[in-house]
Amino acid sequence: MHTEQITHHKAYARAFALYMRRGVPIDLAAIALEVKADTAQSPYYIGRTSGDDKVRPSHAANNGKIFAWDNPPPTGNPGEEFGCRCTAEPYDLPNIDKAQQNVISVVDEGLNRWGTSDFLSHFYFGGGATVTLSQMRHLQDVINLAKNNIYPRFENQIINKVRLQSESDFSEDFVRSYEFYNVSFWHGRSTVSGIFNGNVQYFEDKLVVSGTIKYSFRDEFTDPLDIRQLFYGTSSPKFFDAATVMNTDLRGKRFYITDNWTTSVQITRLK
């Protein structure tokens, strides 16, 4: 970037005025970022702090959040407040009505994918030990299924929550059962829960939600022939005495199937 582009920019004039009035050093790197943002015709930026223990709490709260140059946070745009060392990272606002989730946790699966014989073997000889989807090599398949029928529903739930509250930082959760027959017949209907933590920011006619979601999967392998389900309408052992459970479980030992994964999420919607 040419020096002339920096020294002739409004950001340099603002920084020079602060230097003359208050002795604030001119941060050419921060100015260059603002110039780059203008050159790219982006009216938005991501606030970044210097990341040390000198950062003021009010400025630390802006770190990683998206702002518009013409609608800055209470602390002002980066570099405007006295002694501010924050910078602005150019940002292009995504298209309206867009949602994206990316897995940010490790998906570390076992070597052999579980089939029917593995479920039944563990049922009779596993001693009731909990098994993870990763150990079964089913976690990635569950995640792929979740992308189509779980992610969109929770994204809409988050947006509905946003439109009913005024706080910028918020959390939301859900618990529902879903069908996982396409992953394995033995999963049937299993429970998935999710916890979102993040923030919402408003721009003219749109809003942007950013944060993370931790998903948890839980299933119980029991009543393999659906005997209790067929005759009593539920397989849950908590509704039956021990003898009934033992007989309908064909003297196997029920076990839990669990796992979790975390996604980063960004949702853009009309207000």
Residue type, 4: E
8 A C-beta contact, residue 80 and residue 252: no
pLDDT at 95: 57
Q: Which of 106, 107, 101, 48 lies closest to 212 in space, CA to CA? A: 101
Confidence of residue 1 (pLDDT cuts 50, 70, 90): very low
Per-residue pLDDT of 110-127, as tens digits, reads 788 999 999 999 999 999
Question: Between 139 and 1, where is the model more confident?
Answer: 139
Per-residue pLDDT of 40-68, as tens digits, reads 556 678 889 988 888 999 999 999 888 87
d(CA 165, CA 179): 32
Q: Which of 94, 97, 47, 96 lies closest to 68 in space, CA to CA? A: 47
Q: Which of 74, 76, 4, 75 lies closest to 39 in space, CA to CA? A: 4
Confidence of residue 38 (pLDDT cuts 50, 70, 90): low
Q: Considering the entire predicted model, what is its pTM? A: 0.65
